[in-house]
Amino acid sequence: MSPLIHINFRDARPIYQQVKDGFCQLILSGALPPGYKLPSVRELATSLTINPNTIQRAYRELEQEDYIVSVPGKGSFVCDGKQAAQARRRELMERFEKLVKEMEQLGISRGQLIQKLREGEEKP
């Protein structure tokens, strides 16, 4: 499994976030199908040579965001791709809303934002 998840120690993102983002990409792309059993926390931590608590945090957040489900005594499994896609859309919309508010605070109007979005639609 570790070759699928890459840790970049020069990346500004925390390691748990890199693990989480790696799994998100694999799940959303279909590389990890629904029902796929993820490696145990200990197995993944050993293969990536990072602290098990780091993996545990990534798994906990993946579960909170409906990408995976943990079954006590059995392991962690990939959820249905539709659930994962809905979770990702929800996450992106929350980030978008925060970004819009920040831009408004900097004096950018919603009209300017709408115009920018429409410009993006026109590009092939």
E strand intervals along the chain: 68-71, 75-78
For the chain, what are the domain ranges?
A: 2-81, 84-122
Q: Which CATH architecture has domain 2-81?
A: Orthogonal Bundle (1.10)
What is residue 65's predicted lDDT score, i.e. its pLDDT? 87
Mean pLDDT, range 69-81, rounded to an integer? 90
Mean pLDDT, range 45-56, rounded to an integer? 95
What is residue 123's predicted lDDT score, i.e. its pLDDT? 64
What is residue 1's predicted lDDT score, i.e. its pLDDT? 46
Is pLDDT of 89 > 90? no
Residues 100 and 90: their CA atoms lie apart, in Å, by 15
Is pLDDT of 87 > 80? no
What is residue 108's predicted lDDT score, i.e. its pLDDT? 92
Is pLDDT of 2 > 50? no
Which residue shows structure tokens 């390691």? Answer: 15
Look up residue 68 and give its DSSP letter: E
Contact 4, 60 (CB under 8 A): no
Residue type, 26: L
